A and B are shown apart, each in its own frame.
Chain A
Amino acid sequence: NAGVMQNPRHLVRRRGQEARLRCSPMKGHSHVYWYRQLPEEGLKFMVYLQKENIIDESGMPKERFSAEFPKEGPSILRIQQVVRGDSAAYFCASSPQSGDYGYTFGSGTRLTVV
């Protein structure tokens, strides 16, 4: 039973480029959460999605960031026109139902903006 799969593991982008981070939840999990971890800090909530719906994006920056979880395929976190301050580790977690405390985190995507 594969866990939460994130790819790529490492991503390097030049300033101004786009970054696309993918997350496939655990089998049977229909709820996906994205968190960002800045260097030497804890994880910060970004967005909560169910299939084809954004439930809560209160932690997402208003500009350049977007997320989706289509009916088919992985959840995508998209960062347009990346800046150096976007460099961080981005973690995806999934759960079988909302409010279920059984979060399972993926191994993360480490984004470096040069």
Chain B
Amino acid sequence: GENVEQHPSTLSVQEGDSAVIKCTYSDSASNYFPWYKQELGKGPQLIIDIRSNVGEKKDQRIAVTLNKTAKHFSLHITETQPEDSAVYFCAASKVNDYKLSFGAGTTVTVRA
């Protein structure tokens, strides 16, 4: 099955700096890559996703890039704010497959 690896496991950044989280996947048939943000005591919330027919997608301060050849994708958060502190998960899925394979998560701490 699909194996998703996520790095780093923890990330501490100064407020205003950028944060980058990287994921790799094993199944070349995967074509949908969402990112979830999980705040303490809450469920994962979808923040951005990308499909394999595009290489980059941006939504305000967050962006995701995808390299299908290398089978890796990344989340970029610019101008970080304290409310960006959370655990971020990447995931991968195949077309018409309802199962998401998640990475182990990255705990992001934004220092004021």
Contact with B along A15-41 (1 / 0, CB 8 A): 000000000000000010101000011
* Cβ-based interface call for A95 (8 A): yes
- From B36, B41, B44, B93, A101 is in contact (CB under 8 Å) with B93
Min Cβ gap A77→B in Å is 15
Given contacts A42-B89, A44-B102, A101-B32, contact A106 B43 (CB under 8 A): yes
Given contacts A48-B98, A99-B98, contact A40 B44 (CB under 8 A): no
* Cα distance A48–B93 in the bound complex, in angstroms: 15
* Neighbouring B residues of A42 by C-beta, 8 Å: 4, 6, 89, 91, 102-105
Min Cβ gap B10→A in Å is 11
* Cβ-based interface call for B69 (8 A): no
Given contacts A99-B98, A101-B32, contact A91 B44 (CB under 8 A): yes
B43→A108 contact, CB < 8 A: yes
Q: Classify chain B's interface size.
A: 20 to 34
B43→A40 contact, CB < 8 A: no
B100→A103 contact, CB < 8 A: yes
* Cα distance A56–B1 in the bound complex, in angstroms: 15
* Neighbouring A residues of B32 by C-beta, 8 Å: 101
* Cα distance A103–B56 in the bound complex, in angstroms: 21
Residues of A within 8 A of B (CB): 4, 6, 31, 33, 35, 40-45, 48, 56, 59, 91, 95, 98-99, 101, 103-108
**Could you show 25 A-B contacts with beta carbons less than 8 Å apart?**
A4-B43, A6-B43, A33-B98, A40-B104, A40-B105, A41-B104, A41-B105, A42-B91, A43-B44, A43-B89, A43-B102, A45-B99, A45-B100, A56-B99, A59-B99, A95-B98, A99-B96, A99-B98, A101-B32, A101-B34, A101-B93, A105-B36, A105-B43, A107-B41, A108-B43
Q: A48-B98, A91-B44 are in contact. List 13 more A-B contacts (CB 8 A).
A: A33-B98, A40-B105, A43-B44, A43-B102, A45-B99, A45-B101, A48-B99, A91-B43, A95-B98, A98-B98, A99-B98, A101-B93, A105-B44
Residues of B within 8 A of A (CB): 4, 6, 32, 34, 36, 41-46, 49, 89, 91, 93, 96-105
